[in-house]
Amino acid sequence: MKFLDHAKITIKAGDGGNGCCSFRREKFIEFGGPNGGDGGDGGSVILSAVNDLNTLIDYRFTQHHKAEKGENGKANNKTGASGQDLILKVPIGTQIYAEDKKTLLYDLTKEGENITIANGGKGGLGNTRFKSSTNQAPRKTTNGTFGEEFEIWLELKIIADIGLVGFPNSGKSSFLSLTTRAKPKIADYPFTTINPNLGVLNIDDKEIVIADIPGLIKGAHKGVGLGDKFLKHIERCKSILHLIDINEDNLFNRYQIIREELEKYSPELMNKREIVAFNKIDLLDKNEINIKINDFKRHFRKDFFKISILKKNNIKELLRALKWFLINRKE
């Protein structure tokens, strides 16, 4: 299924049914009283967050969504049937914005969370409602009110435990493919991944949701390489796994570029816990690795991992560290 993280849709709640004007028609009763029923209420439009969706692609092709109208009232004081609510399913992490694309209306972050985004119209009153001591045969009725109608923006921000960041071709998609059942596109050229991918990792009976974010480059926060479209998906990840190709020159400089892009996009991203892992150690001998690592350690004081996704070196150790990070994460 193709990935889409934003969509503009038009929603229309159902109109209320009209009240009925009717009188009793019975044998030997010359002047039957009013018996017109009320109209039914219109259906509402409801957004529901579900766990089995991770894209808004369905809303690209179907942009107009309308709930059912309420039925008109009927004779014999029968109220018209209410219109059926329209339930629109969206992925967990979907934000709903007003038409101006700036005003946040709702934020659906939990499975099963429902919000009524457009209320159905109220049914009109039948003429029975207007009978009084001075008017025994009223013909007055009211029409149902209109259901709410407007345009909204849906924007998806992926919710995951771990967000994978790094330069293009650093091994993020390969890591996701190796450790989960996800099957992202993998190739030996930059920007193979052009959409976020999600995978679920099981480690020691602990489920970890991992998001593979397309590779970032310098200027990503300004939209270079579509970076601003991807960085928003890091905002809701609990921790960050920063993959670096150890074969590149000046490792700390490359590390800093990604960190600066995260900070420029949102300073809050700097508060997320981070694990750094150097990938592709199988392509260098031990002496070359040590030279590069020692240079990096002159600037970087935290722990890091040396891995080979291709050879599966030190992968289990890294996964257990990710698990520990999540268990001991400070809220």
Closest CA to 172 of 243, 91, 251: 243
Give residue 324's pLDDT. Answer: 87
- CATH number corresponding to 162-327: 3.40.50.300
Give residue 225's pLDDT. Answer: 44
φ/ψ of residue 69, rounded to 5: -75, 155
Confidence of residue 108 (pLDDT cuts 50, 70, 90): very high
Give residue 2's pLDDT. Answer: 67
Q: Residue 253: helix, strand or coil by DSSP?
A: helix
pLDDT single digits (tens) 1-12: 567 788 999 999
Q: Residue 179: helix, strand or coil by DSSP?
A: helix
For the record, the structure tokens of 226 come out as 């579509």
Give residue 118's pLDDT. Answer: 97
Which residue in the block uniquely carries the two structure tokens 């050229």?
A: 189
pLDDT single digits (tens) 164-195: 998 888 888 899 889 987 665 444 433 344 56
Closest CA to 307 of 284, 326, 328, 327: 284
**According to CATH, where is 2.70.210.12 located in the chain?**
1-156
**According to CATH, where is 3.40.50.300 located in the chain?**
162-327
DSSP letter (8 states) at residue 195 = S
Contacts 24+ apart (CB under 8 A), 299-303: 299/252, 300/252, 300/255, 300/276, 302/274, 302/276
Mean pLDDT in residue range 10-29: 90
The topology (CATH level 3) of 1-156 is Spo0b-associated Gtp-binding Protein; Chain: A, (2.70.210)
> Which is higher by pLDDT, 312 or 3?
312
